[in-house]
Structure 1
Amino acid sequence: MLKLGVILFLGISTTVNSQCFYKDDASKKLNPEARTNLYRNQLEFTLDLFNTINHAVPDDNIFFSPFSVYHALLLAYFAAGGETESALKKSLRISDIQDKVNLLMAYKVDKRARAVNNNSDSYEFTNANKMFVDTDLHVRDCLRNMMAGELEALNFHQNPQVARQQINNWVAQITKNNIQDLIPVDGITDTTKLVLANAAYFKGVWASKFPVERTKKQVFFVSETRQTLVPFMRQKGTFHYMVSDELGAQILELPYKGNDISMYILLPPYSMKEGVSNIIKNLTPERLAAVVEEGYMGREVVVEIPKFTIERSLPLRPILETMGAGNLFDATSNFSTLSEDSGILFDDAVHKAKIQIDEEGTVAAAATAIFGFRSSRPAEPSVFIANFPFVYVIYERPTNSVLFMGVYRDPKK
């Protein structure tokens, strides 16, 4: 299974220098729960983002990487000041007690842990963040020192198309060529100051693969009045299965080899027209925790799920504006923590995602860019047939992180 995520924002060491974020950064006490708080903030943002996207495209397939979106916005938050910083802090669900010093340290610790713990024997997950800045932009020394691994200078003002290709090549490299040409030809100009980027890649295989010879076409019920034939993968095995009355869904866990990462499929009753939207609306951090905990018993289940590939481009700017991060796109935007230069703002944002699910596992990719320039319900619990619209979540258990998520509504879209 493979999943990828990339986010780009255009506009802009665990040791924190004095007076980079605050008048005296060194006076901030280290919070041992900073990393846990980071994951909690990320999860709250993830579910809010999912609900906002579903409202924007209520009848379409959805696939995106909230992990990728969040990390790109974190780069923006570290670079921001004033009202822009306040708006990002609110939309990213960062609590008032969590200061930038501790958040940056949590970010750095998470980055190092992922580099060390990437379990290549069972799955591969790579996450990379970059702030591509114009060579003429005067980056503050303290931020340059703290985020040396995230900063890279490109000559936007003299060679915008060369710079665009360099960023697209970086995205393609991180995502193993699953996301290409993320930034369009007109996405970078000679007035671009900054690109904030995140790229994430996941590759894994099912802990229990689907036998290829059992894949057969059968009916998928798009709606009460429309149906289509799609290939369905089938297997019988022992899986975690539950029914959640609070979410109004049957829930099946399909783990990947290594068991740190799983796909959860949330299937509403066939008779409920708004079943998918109700699941998304009711999906809180507490209810998601109840889904992913190990407390429910494994049981023998007959599983039938579609084999599919979906690629989606999502206009992210209106989504972020709805979520309260619209200050990013205003002429009054403030990135004074990054640079004392004026004129750094974002004009647009786009997220691109791709997923492929087959008998072996899943391949997925997601990318976001912000440009800164001017069937019937199964009769028995032991049978899980996802032959009508459902929600799916790819979840990393050790960090309580949602890496990718989506809605499968229409095989023809």
Structure 2
Amino acid sequence: MSSTEVDSCLHVAERVGLAAVASGSNFVLSPLSIRAALGLAAAGASGETLHQMLSFLGSPSVDHLNSASARLMASVRGDGDGRVVESAGPRLSFVNGVWVDRSLTLKPGFHDVAASVYGAVAKSVDFQQQANEVAKEVNEWVQKETNGLIDELIPDGAVDGYTRLILANALYFKGVWADKFDASGTRHGTFHLLDNSTVQVPFMTSRRDQFISSFDGFKVLKLRYRRTPNQRSLLYMLIFLPDKKDGLPLLIHKLSSDPSFIKDHTPRRDVEVGNFMIPKFNFVYEFEASKVLADLGMEAPFDGGHADFREMVSDLPPRDNLFISRVHHKARIEVDEEGTTAAAATAVLIRALCYRPPVDFSADHPFMFAIMEEESEAVLFLGHVVNPVVD
């Protein structure tokens, strides 16, 4: 995946991240998870809906998007089925799933992309009669595939009888530091908050040389995860530390504005360190992304009257229309002396805007009437009209 292709997902991170900063909240999301969910949805889109989704995802065509997604999936999933493999190196799992209402059939083209590119397994379910049960099933699937780190991805009430599809994925990562921190050296120290107050937190420390680079206004630390000799990819964490204690918002803006920012500021060599302190942390963040995605140019997919997902399913009633009603994302991360455990999940909920023929009501012949009190249902007046002009 090229740097330009993650650009829009980084803009999501900026919008949501800056809002979290303003509220004093920690923040984490997975651009990979969000991108994959939207990429799968785009495989069933057409017309202006497809155009906006391709533009957001940085691809000129569906074929280009599918090829880029296939490469991305291969790099994450390795040679297996995407699930966790126990080894001495990092454990990485990324799986996708499709739940479709039993009244509909996935079109062959969409089904093939879902299976071959994303490794997604499709399941027929009954949204119209068992919406709550399906939502529970998806949540339990996510919880299982993230080793219990992500629960209740889809909130109560988000899925109803008009939901027709859910496209979901689950990402899990567990990595051990190449050079673990000595837990006996962890000490509490002062962490400076954005409101100028302070808190006492546990800091990990080390005397080893570290991969650190200094730039104008900030420094970057690279912490590598242990890998086995036969693992091709190297995974690592980057920590971007602004020089100013209130410099985080500006640094967030810099990162999201430059597609090559991360690559250009990744440390390449280790240096001797003086005072070296990294706090332990463990938190979860969740948000519903439809508004920020629409604000970033993807309006059509969320417009019930104009969204075009005609390439996704067949058997849809002629005057019904599919649109994305919600995009739920949730992520969790824990960093300690041993390494990092993280997980994320995204669920794209696709709803039907069902056409209901207008109901005629022309009281042009004799009728009954009643005047009621709602709470007690008491009938205050009851009568009929056979001739409106008779006194």
TM-score range relative to shorter protein: 0.7 to 0.9
Matches within 5 A, 1:6-405: 38-59=1-22, 60-94=25-59, 96=60, 99-113=61-75, 114-116=77-79, 120-148=87-115, 149-150=119-120, 151-223=122-194, 225-245=196-216, 248-258=217-227, 260-270=234-244, 273=246, 275-283=247-255, 284-292=258-266, 294=268, 296-300=269-273, 302-331=275-304, 332-340=306-314, 341=316, 342-373=320-351
The CA distance in 2 between the partners of 1:241 and 1:346, in whole Å, is 43
- Do the aligned partners of residues 370 and 100 (structure 1) sit closer, same or farther apart at CA in structure 2, a change above 3 Å counting? closer
The CA distance in 1 between the partners of 2:272 and 2:86, in whole Å, is 27
| Deviation, structure 1 residue 124 | 0.9
Is residue 123–residue 203 contact of structure 1 (8 Å, CA) maintained in 2?
yes
The CA distance in 2 between the partners of 1:343 and 1:322, in whole Å, is 22
What's the counterpart of residue 392 of structure 1? none
What amino acid is aligned across from residue 123 of structure 1 in structure 2? P
Counting matched residue pairs gives 329
The CA distance in 1 between the partners of 2:110 and 2:194, in whole Å, is 52
The CA distance in 1 between the partners of 2:11 and 2:188, in whole Å, is 35
| Deviation, structure 1 residue 249 | 0.8
Is residue 239–residue 301 contact of structure 1 (8 Å, CA) maintained in 2?
no
Tell me which of the two structures has the higher relative contact order, counting C-alpha pairs closer than 8 angstroms and 6 or more residues apart.
Answer: 1
Q: Helix, strand or coil: the match of 1:101?
A: helix
Fraction of identical pairs, as percent: 28
The CA distance in 2 between the partners of 1:179 and 1:224, in whole Å, is 30
Runs of at least 5 residues in structure 2 that lack an aligned partner in the other structure? 228-232, 353-391
TM-score normalised over the length of structure 2? 0.78
42-51 vs 209-218, greater mean Cα deviation: 42-51
The CA distance in 2 between the partners of 1:224 and 1:55, in whole Å, is 15
Is residue 209–residue 359 contact of structure 1 (8 Å, CA) maintained in 2?
yes
Runs of at least 5 residues in structure 1 that lack an aligned partner in the other structure? 1-37, 375-413
The CA distance in 1 between the partners of 2:254 and 2:100, in whole Å, is 40
118-127 vs 258-267, greater mean Cα deviation: 118-127
Q: Helix, strand or coil: the match of 1:161?
A: helix
The CA distance in 1 between the partners of 2:270 and 2:207, in whole Å, is 16
| Deviation, structure 1 residue 353 | 1.3
- Do the aligned partners of residues 181 and 43 (structure 1) sit closer, same or farther apart at CA in structure 2, a change above 3 Å counting? same
Is residue 105–residue 313 contact of structure 2 (8 Å, CA) maintained in 1?
yes
Q: Helix, strand or coil: the match of 2:260?
A: helix
Q: Deviations over 1:185-235 (max 9, x none)?
A: 312112210111121111111111111111121111103631111111111
Q: Helix, strand or coil: the match of 1:223?
A: coil
The CA distance in 1 between the partners of 2:149 and 2:161, in whole Å, is 28
What amino acid is aligned across from residue 162 of structure 2 in structure 1? T
Q: Helix, strand or coil: the match of 1:347?
A: strand
Q: Helix, strand or coil: the match of 2:87?
A: coil
- Do the aligned partners of residues 224 and 133 (structure 1) sit closer, same or farther apart at CA in structure 2, a change above 3 Å counting? closer
Q: Helix, strand or coil: the match of 1:63?
A: coil
| Deviation, structure 1 residue 285 | 2.6
The CA distance in 1 between the partners of 2:74 and 2:344, in whole Å, is 22
Is residue 52–residue 322 contact of structure 1 (8 Å, CA) maintained in 2?
no
258-267 vs 52-61, greater mean Cα deviation: 52-61
| Deviation, structure 1 residue 254 | 0.9
The CA distance in 2 between the partners of 1:308 and 1:134, in whole Å, is 40
Q: Helix, strand or coil: the match of 1:58?
A: helix
The CA distance in 1 between the partners of 2:192 and 2:329, in whole Å, is 28
- Do the aligned partners of residues 138 and 270 (structure 1) sit closer, same or farther apart at CA in structure 2, a change above 3 Å counting? same
The CA distance in 1 between the partners of 2:43 and 2:267, in whole Å, is 32
TM-score normalised over the length of structure 1? 0.74
The CA distance in 2 between the partners of 1:222 and 1:314, in whole Å, is 23
Is residue 169–residue 347 contact of structure 2 (8 Å, CA) maintained in 1?
no
| Deviation, structure 1 residue 76 | 1.1
